[in-house]
Amino acid sequence: MTRKLSRAAVDVWARLIRAEHALLEAVEADLKAAGLPPLVWYDVALELARAPNGRLRHRDLNARVLLAKYNLSRLIDRMVEAGLVARLPVAEDARGAYIAITEAGRRLQKRMWPVYGRSIARHFAARLDERDLTELDRILAKLRAAEPQGLPA
């Protein structure tokens, strides 16, 4: 059941997208100021570090990353070149490959977290009290549940 799109809905949608962009830009600026790579590198390293055996198939990694999924192959190429991840063969699929985090990738992810965590605290958490966070979480859960299969995590 879809209701008529209101001006308020369009305005709030635009503010949501602008807020997301502003927060991500602030985090990216903090990472850059600390001499660290972009946030998507952290995102990939974290998902691989959390995965069983520190590796995922490309398609599975693509489904897990939080940030824009375009050019994941190019990003993986750059991370392989930097020694942060490796491509490993898949025994049951000669054409497939696992993307696996290396020890250097684990170290980078751990080095990035303090800067990223402080950035989240400064640009996001410091602006919201516990009631705001609870309400925002409730609203976001409602948006995710709006689709039959839910939105990607």
Tell me which fold the domain 7-145 belongs to.
Answer: Arc Repressor Mutant, subunit A (1.10.10)
pLDDT for 66: 81
Q: How far apart are CA 4 and CA 20, in angstroms?
A: 25
pLDDT for 69: 66
pLDDT for 80: 97
pLDDT for 22: 97
Structure tokens at 80: 């392989």
Q: How far apart are CA 151 and CA 153, in angstroms?
A: 6
Structure tokens at 46: 């974290």
Q: How far apart are CA 54 and CA 77, in angstroms?
A: 17
Phi, then psi, of 109 in degrees rounded to 5: -60, -45
Q: What are the extents of the domains in the chain?
A: 7-145
Per-residue pLDDT of the chain (153 residues), as tens digits, is 567 899 999 999 999 999 999 999 999 999 999 999 999 999 999 999 999 999 999 889 998 998 776 788 899 999 999 999 999 988 887 778 899 999 999 999 999 999 999 999 999 999 999 999 999 999 999 998 866 555 555
pLDDT for 118: 98
